[in-house]
Amino acid sequence: MKVIYAGYAKTGTKTMGAVFNEFGYNTYDLLENSYYLGQDWRRIIKEGGTVEDFRRMYEGVDAVVDTPCYVFWEEIMEAYPDAKIIFSIRDEDVWVRSMKKQKDSYATEPLYVLMQMFSYSGWGHFQFIAAAAQVILGSTVKWPWCKFNLNPTVWKRMYRNHNNYVLNNAPKDKLLVYNLKDGWEPICEFLGEEVPNKPFLHANAGASIVKDFIDNHPIMKRMMKETMFFFGVLTLIGAYGGYKVYQNPAGIRGWINAAMTRFKFW
């Protein structure tokens, strides 16, 4: 493990993930944590975890960002004490508005909702998100199409407590408090990387990450394939049932009438 991004969600996590990928780091962002480590995280959130758990989970991983790693940055660093920490802060009110917009987008993107309902990987992702929401926001979400409970007072308190804890407890010689406006140089100097010959990266502008994931991320594309397979099977079953009705409509009507009589539907 080379680096942990300890900034809260909506403080540049997707930008930092893109930066780490630019350096060639094996980076675990939200979807990687959900897809590869979702069961581990649900167990840790519910029952607790050990140093050995985190060391096993992130063996061979160079960088971690986003939910729920930033909450557990200290436990991950205990497992990988040579890791460095990058951290950013936004204005609280701006952060709350941005977080609400992001969370609401999860329930208003139809494809994302369908994938969580009708694919095995998608349902596991929803369970991961629901568990993580308890830790990062003190909020709950019952179903994929539901919006997160909004409690700005609780959100701000958790955000403030997290930021203060990182600033007061992270090893100063391994901590970079970073402003995304500062571009490549501070990060590259901190991590010992060459400055790329390209403009600094900015990801998830306007809380667009759900659509970006659906269009580009291989894990999300896998969820889409599973969802299409489910609807394909459902279509075949419906077509077969329709064919049987077409072949023997009288028999089907008789079966329906017998069932309704048996269960006293009339």
Is 90 exceeded by the pLDDT of residue 121? no
Asked if residue 232 has pLDDT above 90, the reply is no
pLDDT-derived band at 226 (thresholds 50, 70, 90) equals confident
The percent of residues above 90 in pLDDT, for the chain, comes to 53
Residues 156-179 have pLDDT tens digits of: 999 999 999 999 999 999 999 999
- Taking 50 as the threshold, does the pLDDT of residue 69 lie above it? yes
Q: Which domain holds residue 232?
A: 228-262
Q: Do 169 and 232 fall within a single domain?
A: no
Q: Are residues 199 and 249 in the same domain?
A: no
| Number of folded domains that form the chain | 2
Round to whole Å and give the CA distance between 193 and 265.
Answer: 73
Residue 206 has pLDDT above 90, yes or no: no
238 and 109 in a common domain: no
Same domain, 125 and 175: yes
* Better-predicted residue by pLDDT, 138 or 208: 138
Instruction: Look at residue 139 in the predicted model and tell me its pLDDT.
Output: 77
**Confidence band of 266 (pLDDT split at 50, 70, 90):** very low
Whether residues 197 and 127 share a domain: the answer is: yes
Question: Is there a single domain that holds both residue 167 and residue 234?
Answer: no
Read off the pLDDT of each residue in 7-13 and give the average, rounded to a whole number: 93
Window from 38-42, 88-92, 140-144, 152-156 with minimum mean pLDDT = 140-144
Whether residue 158 is found in the same domain as residue 249: no
Instruction: Say yes or no: 146 and 212 in one domain.
Output: yes
